Chain A
Amino acid sequence: MKLHPILAALRKHKAGTVLIALQIALTLAIVCNAVFIIGQRVERVNRPTGIDESNLFLISQQWVGAPSGDTADGVEKLDAMQKEDLVALRNLPDVVSVAPINSLPLLNSSWTGALSLKPDEKNVGTRTAYYFGDEQVLPTLGLKLVAGRAFNAGDVQHQGARDQRDPATVMVSKAVADKLFPQASATGSAVGKAIYLNGSGKPSTIVGVVERMQTPGTGSWASAFAWNSTLVPTRMDANFSRYAVRTKPGRLDAAMRAATPALYAVNPLRVLDEESIQSFAEIRDKAYRADVGMAALMGVVCLILIGVTAAGIVGLTSFWVGQRHRQIGVRRALGARKVDILHYFQLENLLIAGVGAVIGVLLAISLNLLLIRQFEMERLPLAYVLTGVVAVLALGQAAVFAPARRASNVPPVTATRAA
């Protein structure tokens, strides 16, 4: 089929042609970026934390009238109180293991610092989040040990939460081990090495490496070191404490209900309300709520856009078909087959959508550049744009099919009738 008659006809419908092309261009630009945002958020939400998230919950409680964590005597008393709580929780029937801990992945309450291979290096090193726990931390969180050994009871120390002390032993995530010892061929070679925490002059020895453990921070500031976790075998003593609890399979709710009375029985003078006890599923839900919401919003916008654009093409093409009713009849009477008429409208739409898609690609890239500059978005991969182009061309063809079919069914006899 020749393009010339189509182009000549389009010249008579400049406004409509421009409007459809513009609509397709804008749709392509927005949908590409929106789908890219959805893809990024879905990827973010689906990142495994490295811990076994099922059957796990967290207790965050605060003692009333607790001794000060600033004095040596107070720290000992607080530690005794914490140990009493741990015993009570470990004795619960549905509980498998309990570990005192300062935070969990995705909890957004973090303790961060830097690790280096040399002593007394200030403000440099590998950024990391610290997890303080005891010898139960690995089984409780379900972390996977890939080299070395887990903490044993002999490693575990305790200290006031604001005291600065260098632990003799630490465990690190594989991400940290790879960053600190990039030349090492095997992860295991990090084991036994000395590292210095937060510019300290005293070394800490790496005794084990876990495969993966996400840091507590979910904000953009934390994304640069999201997998750099360091485990320290220390119970932190303050007027508050957190306990990670692993329950028997299917007994999460029962164990969560049993925890409050058990702790009140140990000591009623504490703050322990419904917000103090949360399952890991709740923590995850809260951490990613904004991301899921953004993805949902972008999804809704895309659906509306595609619907509106498709409907717009149907509407305008239908109008053209109605307007050219007589001309179609003339062509049919002069020997054009039904399929020729069908192809005419399909090709016409392909041309308009093609021009729209070219403009749309430029708009999509400009919009992406704007988002990069203003909102620290990432660069839109070409695959998204190309998929988008194919998608809008397909959308145009799908939308034009019904009106084009109607056009092809115009009988040749129309030509002989007055309009």
Chain B
Amino acid sequence: MFSYYLDLAVRSLKRSPGLTALMVLAIGFGVAASMTTWSVFRAVSGDPIPWKSSKLFVPQIDVWGPQGRSSDGEPPNAMAYPDAMVLMRDHRAKLQSAMYQISPSVVPAQAGRHPLNVSGHAVYSEFFPMLDVPFLYGSGWNASDDTQRTAVVVISSKLNQKLFAGANSVGKTLNIESKDYRVVGVLDNWNPQPRYYDVVNSGGFSATGEDVFLPFERAIEVGMSNDGNTNCNAVPAESGFVGLQHSNCVWIAYMAQLDDAAAVTAYRNYLDGYAHAQQQAGRFGWAVNNRLRDLPAFLDNQHVVPSDTKVSLLVAIGLLLVCLVNTVGLLLAKFLRRSGEIGVRRALGAPRSAIYAQFLTEAGIIGAAGGVLGLLLTGVGVACVGWVLPKSIATLARLDLPLLALTLLVAVVATLLAGLYPTSRAARVQPAWQLKSN
């Protein structure tokens, strides 16, 4: 019976090619616009470390007091050096790392090649196990390298490709800012988006991955200055990078792994206790105002997903809705025009369910055709995203199998839904009236 309805539907659609094309175009454009914006939204709003994000926490300490808070009473989103160092020393979380963004120069060993600039982070050894950073060769450094300020480095596979032709470079030497560092690990492809471990300095998204990771205290010792945001509520009393370290300026990102609710409570109490102690010592002249958010909550609080992305998605869904309303109207016109035919079928004994099957088949075909057109247009749309969006975000939008499947599914389901009302009207046609008027 289905193949018969299919045949009927195709005949009917051929009879009014203009109307059919109009419905297919509307569904195609509506679905493609929604799916293109969805691909961007999906890319920027995804959880960068879904298996662990609920265990990763970002502590915030109010070092500036009421005058330095934003209008919603939030403390600074980064940490001052003295506080970060106390938190590292007290070591109350299972794993934790203070970190700051660096942008050092690297001098290739090969003669005749110009120095290059790389971006990276100064971190503690626990950074790598905490974030499940994948290694191609070697591993991170250990806790004693942290305290001894060993000159070691973890590099990206990209930098390894550039400088060591992709070979296992563990144990080799790398010249960073004119000092030699021993390579201890080479990362596998790792460029999480958003760059959740340091949203404050990366602004969330970055087209290029990070190339070097150095021990934090080593970087401080050699005076490798921070590259990124430095926010001060007062001019530092001393000058230079050392002056910044002694100041209440915030420039350090901090992340801690807390495995269960008890650990979170304990850590929260610890932070509050620290702020109380600072109060007592006269450094903080205000009530405790700390925050301890897990990673998804912190990313949300920092508005990592650009609002343009959300507005685009909203508008595109609106467009799809209009296209569907349009389809309901056109299907209604198309189906009711065939009231005579329906009357004959009903009079010859076809039950209402048969009418439903026949007309929903027709709607389904339009949906499928619209879906195929939508696939093509979504392909065009995703390809054009790079043309209209910043590179850091555009590179994230991908055309993959789930997106293609979703495009088809949305097109067919939406058109079937749109076909429901016209079909129910068609099924309610009174056979007697139709036969009489004919």
A residues touching B (Cβ–Cβ < 8 Å)?
A: 15-16, 19-20, 22-23, 26-27, 29-30, 33-34, 37, 62-65, 68-71, 122-123, 160, 162-164, 198-200, 238-239, 264, 268-273, 286, 289-290, 292-294, 296-298, 300-301, 304-305, 308-309, 311-312, 315-316, 318-320, 322-323, 367, 371, 374-377, 419
CB-defined A-B contacts under 8 Å, sample of 14: A15-B425, A16-B332, A23-B322, A26-B318, A264-B114, A271-B116, A301-B33, A304-B33, A304-B319, A308-B322, A312-B26, A319-B334, A322-B337, A375-B310
A contact residues around B337 at 8 Å (CB)? 319, 322-323
Contact with A along B331-374 (1 / 0, CB 8 A): 01110110000000000000000000000000000000000000
Contact A315 B329 (CB under 8 A): yes
A contact residues around B330 at 8 Å (CB)? 312, 315-316
B contact residues around A270 at 8 Å (CB)? 105, 114-115
Say yes or no for B202: interface residue by CB 8 A criterion: no
Name the one of B19, B29, B329, B389 contacting A20, with C-beta atoms under 8 angstroms. Answer: B329
Within 8 A of A (CB), among B1-57: 19, 22, 25-26, 29-30, 33, 37
Bound CA span A304–B323, Å: 9
Contact B241 A162 (CB under 8 A): yes
Closest chain-A Cβ to B357's Cβ sits at a distance in Å of 22
Bound CA span A375–B305, Å: 11
Q: Which residue of B lies closest to A363 (CB)?
A: B318
For B68, B117, B233, B421, the residue with the greatest tally of chain A CB atoms inside 10 Å of its CB is B117
Given A162-B244, A290-B390, A293-B389: A301 and B329 interface contact (C-beta under 8 Å): no
Q: Which residue of A lies closest to B236 (CB)?
A: A164
Bound CA span A199–B233, Å: 10
Q: Which residue of B lies closest to A19 (CB)?
A: B329
Contact B332 A198 (CB under 8 A): no
Contact B328 A19 (CB under 8 A): yes
Contact A16 B329 (CB under 8 A): yes
A contact residues around B421 at 8 Å (CB)? 15
Contact A375 B223 (CB under 8 A): no
18 additional A-B residue pairs with CB within 8 Å, beyond A16-B332, A162-B236, A270-B114: A33-B315, A65-B178, A69-B225, A70-B241, A162-B225, A199-B235, A272-B114, A289-B389, A289-B390, A293-B387, A293-B390, A297-B37, A308-B25, A312-B325, A316-B330, A319-B333, A319-B337, A371-B311
A contact residues around B306 at 8 Å (CB)? 290
Say yes or no for B388: interface residue by CB 8 A criterion: yes
B residues touching A (Cβ–Cβ < 8 Å)?
A: 19, 22, 25-26, 29-30, 33, 37, 67-68, 103, 105, 107, 114-117, 177-178, 223, 225, 233-236, 239-244, 306-308, 310-312, 315-316, 318-319, 321-323, 325-326, 328-330, 332-334, 336-337, 387-390, 421, 425, 437
Contact A309 B322 (CB under 8 A): yes
Counting residue pairs across A and B whose Cβ atoms lie within 8 Å, the total is: 174
Closest 3 pairs (CB-CB, A-B): A293-B388, A70-B240, A319-B333
Contact A30 B310 (CB under 8 A): no
A contact residues around B311 at 8 Å (CB)? 37, 294, 371, 375, 377
Contact B117 A62 (CB under 8 A): yes
Closest chain-B Cβ to A163's Cβ sits at a distance in Å of 4
Given A162-B225, A419-B437: A23 and B329 interface contact (C-beta under 8 Å): yes
B contact residues around A269 at 8 Å (CB)? 107, 115
A contact residues around B234 at 8 Å (CB)? 122-123, 199
Name the one of A34, A37, A273, A300 contacting B116, with C-beta atoms under 8 angstroms. Answer: A273
Closest chain-B Cβ to A352's Cβ sits at a distance in Å of 11
B contact residues around A290 at 8 Å (CB)? 306, 308, 389-390
Contact A311 B26 (CB under 8 A): yes
A contact residues around B390 at 8 Å (CB)? 286, 289-290, 293
B contact residues around A238 at 8 Å (CB)? 225
Contact B240 A160 (CB under 8 A): yes
Contact B312 A294 (CB under 8 A): yes
Given A70-B240, A294-B312, A301-B316: A315 and B22 interface contact (C-beta under 8 Å): yes
Given A26-B321, A122-B234, A375-B310: A65 and B177 interface contact (C-beta under 8 Å): yes
Bound CA span A315–B326, Å: 9
Q: Which residue of A lies closest to B334 (CB)?
A: A319
Q: Which residue of A lies closest to B307 (CB)?
A: A375
Given A23-B326, A37-B311, A162-B244: A271 and B117 interface contact (C-beta under 8 Å): yes
A contact residues around B30 at 8 Å (CB)? 304, 308
Given A312-B329, A315-B330: A297 and B310 interface contact (C-beta under 8 Å): no
Bound CA span A109–B330, Å: 54
Contact A70 B239 (CB under 8 A): yes
Contact A309 B326 (CB under 8 A): yes
A contact residues around B178 at 8 Å (CB)? 64-65
Given A163-B239, A294-B308, A375-B307: A19 and B325 interface contact (C-beta under 8 Å): yes
Name the one of A26, A162, A286, A322 contacting B322, with C-beta atoms under 8 angstroms. Answer: A26
Bound CA span A69–B308, Å: 40
Contact B115 A271 (CB under 8 A): yes
